[in-house]
């Protein structure tokens, strides 16, 4: 049987505030979330086997071990007997850098959940689907039906049909940021801003005036990332520059593809050993 191909899009935080800690000891965050046209490719097909086969290829596959989000998802689905003993061969071409703050692994799991759910391979109501996503990882829920989203202070996720149409230059140095380490250094908390479903939060003026509160922590530990942001802010026609998640990717936002491409060429001149790509919000 031929492989089916699924695109697993990168998640980007347009803003991120930390409000405190939950009873689970995880941090309570609120965020404006979008997705960009950078994606891992997931190839899958059902197989006659007693176990699933999962492997990773591509530029950013190095170092992914057997304890990954996709394997965890499949193990959870088997344990809950949701796949009816069906096994799958899954090959994932990694185009999203690891430890970049763009949720590559979490979005892989979310993309597979979307596929299994839409094809009625797994049959769950909305509440159980959310519970399944949360079992795999805290970010996985963001990729269930990937759309521009508001993660509110009450942990409610509001999906919007509104499109942003930003062009972006995404850059990442040759090191990543550990989410666990960065969050362990959080000492100050923000006041909640996104405590209702107002679509006005996604107005461009509001997004431009927002921030990622983790930047201060990350830039203190990795001054090179501050240098990158300052360089990007000086580029022609840039609207704003922001780190995604806990880093280490930083995105410069533009209104046109041409402006983003010019920026990429300028970035390459100074940082030719760093990964960068132009893309667009979807």
pLDDT in tens, 81-137: 999 999 999 999 999 999 999 999 999 999 999 999 999 999 999 999 999 999 999
3-state DSSP call for residue 28?
strand
State how far the alpha carbon of 238 is from the alpha carbons of 29, 88, 198, in Å: 27, 44, 27
Residue 107: its pLDDT value, please? 98
**Residue 10, Cβ density class (10 Å: 0-12 exposed, 13-18 middle, ≥19 buried):** buried
Give me the catalytic one of 40, 139, 172, 229: 139
Give me the catalytic one of 11, 94, 172, 229: 11
Q: Is the pLDDT at 70 greater than 80, yes or no?
A: yes
**Residue 227, Cβ density class (10 Å: 0-12 exposed, 13-18 middle, ≥19 buried):** middle
Per the DSSP assignment, residues forming a β-bridge with 150 are 32, 158
Over range 57-80, report the average pLDDT. Answer: 96
Cβ contact 61:69 at 8 Å: no
Rounded CA separation 21/26 (Å): 6
Cβ contact 214:250 at 8 Å: no
Rounded CA separation 279/92 (Å): 20
Site of tokens 């679509």: 199
Site of tokens 């996720």: 157
Q: Is the pLDDT at 208 greater than 90, yes or no?
A: yes
Domains of the chain: 4-158 (3.30.230.10), 162-280 (3.30.70.890)
Percent of the chain with pLDDT over 90: 91
State the DSSP code for 90.
E
Residue 197: its pLDDT value, please? 62
Q: 24: pLDDT confidence band, cut at 50, 70 and 90?
A: confident
Q: Active-site residue 78, yes or no? A: no
């Amino acid at each position: 049987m031929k492989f089916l191909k699924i695109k697993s899009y990168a998640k980007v935080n347009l803003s991120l505030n930390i409000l405190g800690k939950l009873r689970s000891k995880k941090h309570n965050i609120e965020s404006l979330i979008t997705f960009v046209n950078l994606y891992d490719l997931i190839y899958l097909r059902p197989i006659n086997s007693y176990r699933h086969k999962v492997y990773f290829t591509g530029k950013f596959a190095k170092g992914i071990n057997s304890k990954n989000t996709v394997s965890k998802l499949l193990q959870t689905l088997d344990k809950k007997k949701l796949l009816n003993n069906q096994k799958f061969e899954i090959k994932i071409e990694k185009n999203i850098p690891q430890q970049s703050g763009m949720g590559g692994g979490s979005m892989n799991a979310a993309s597979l959940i979307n596929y299994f759910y839409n094809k009625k391979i797994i049959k769950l109501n909305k509440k159980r689907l959310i519970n399944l996503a949360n079992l795999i990882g805290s970010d996985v829920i963001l990729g269930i039906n990937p759309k521009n989203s508001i993660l509110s202070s009450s942990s409610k996720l509001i999906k919007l049909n509104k499109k942003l149409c930003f062009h972006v230059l995404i850059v990442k140095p040759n090191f990543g940021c550990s989410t666990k380490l960065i969050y362990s250094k959080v000492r100050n908390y923000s006041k909640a801003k996104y405590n209702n479903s107002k679509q006005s939060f996604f107005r461009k003026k509001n997004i431009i005036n927002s921030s990622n509160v983790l930047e201060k922590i990350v830039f203190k530990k990795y001054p090179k990332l501050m240098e990158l942001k300052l360089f990007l802010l000086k580029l022609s026609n840039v609207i704003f520059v922001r780190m995604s998640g806990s880093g280490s990717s930083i995105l410069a936002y533009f209104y046109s593809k041409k402006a983003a491409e010019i920026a990429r060429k300028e970035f390459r001149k100074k940082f030719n050993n760093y990964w960068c790509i132009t893309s667009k919000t979807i």
